[in-house]
Amino acid sequence: MDGLALVDAHQHFWDLQRGRYPWLQDEPPPAAFRYGDTRALRRSYLPEQYAADTRGWHVAGTVHVEAEWDRGDPVAETRWLAELRERTGLPTVAVAHATLDREDAASVLQAQAAFGFVRGIRHKPTAAPSPRDIVRGAAGSMDDPKWRAGYALLSRYHFSFDLQTPYWHLAEAADLARAFPWIPIVINHTGLPADRSAEGLRAWHAALELAAGEPNIALKISGLGVKGQPWSLAANAPVIRDAIRIFGTDRCCFASNYPVDSLVASFDAIVTGFKAAVADLSAEDQRKLFCDTAVRLYRIPV
């Protein structure tokens, strides 16, 4: 659409003939998925489909984030990605999976580190369904000593950590960041501000400010769809601008979350909307958001 170089800091590929993805293939579909019915995603999504969706944009690199391949063998997803990458050139780099509180965490991390394009790990910690249901120290949570023991191993491989959790767990994330200041954390999907009521946005804003107080935490601005509604500038521009005000352009980056966010918008609509939301920023800051910050966070060769 223009000469803007994009690094897509959060995207997925999957081949339903090669891998098992319970959230895409099991019946019934997951009832708690934030966008609703996932059936429209039940097709293989590979670089050729991504190229069609991103046509007209200069995508200079991508960060593939693990797509919840069968947890019995998370390294199999990375092996498959290595083949895909060899054949097509995508993804540029990847965030792989390891279940940090499982007995095999150390061996899985070592195996993931053998792939030179892996930059970090995502393991969604246990999350409460609402702020009032939080139990600090719950098994599988960011406070759980067993989970933290696995997390500590990330530094052995210079891995960052992609954190996907509702905003009401960002106090735990801030504690985690203070305990391990040498491990970079990248919050996924803007902290999941699904509740767009005034009260919900105030709570999200406060949680982001708490997390932003830790210098080793960054933020991916993505996943801003709202269930039952198309992606809109009116709904999302205030969230985008607030996130950038809180974290700054040195710690924020654009991401599409494609193809998951195809449930709420085209790639073109998401990028165009994001561009409109940040149009008042300097050219340098826009380059950081669309490219430079992701390049630095994920050590991307572009």
Average pLDDT over residues 74-94: 98
pLDDT of residue 67: 98
Mean per-residue pLDDT over the chain, rounded: 96
Say if residue 244's pLDDT is above 90. Answer: yes
CATH number of 5-297: 3.20.20.140
How far from chain centre, in Å, is Cα 296? 16
| Domain residue ranges of the chain, discontinuous segments joined by + | 5-297
Q: How confident is the model at residue 180 (pLDDT cuts 50, 70, 90)?
A: very high
Cα torsion at 66, 67, 71, 74 (round to 10°)? -40
Tokens of 150: 């696995």
Task: Name the least confident of 21-30, 82-91, 168-177.
Answer: 21-30
Q: Could you report the per-residue pLDDT of 137-158, keeping only the tens digit for each?
A: 999 999 999 999 999 999 999 9
Q: Could you report the per-residue pLDDT of 97-124, keeping only the tens digit for each?
A: 999 999 999 999 999 999 999 999 999 9
Tokens of 111: 């195996």
Q: How confident is the model at residue 207 (pLDDT cuts 50, 70, 90)?
A: very high
Say if residue 166's pLDDT is above 60. Answer: yes
Closest CA to 50 of 298, 215, 267, 199: 267
pTM of the model: 0.97
Q: How confident is the model at residue 89 (pLDDT cuts 50, 70, 90)?
A: very high
Q: How confident is the model at residue 1 (pLDDT cuts 50, 70, 90)?
A: low
Any residues with CB less than 8 A from the CB of 150 and at least 6 apart, and which? Answer: 98, 99, 100, 101, 102, 105, 106, 109, 123
Question: What is the percentage of the chain residues whose pLDDT exceeds 90?
Answer: 93
How far from chain centre, in Å, is Cα 84? 20
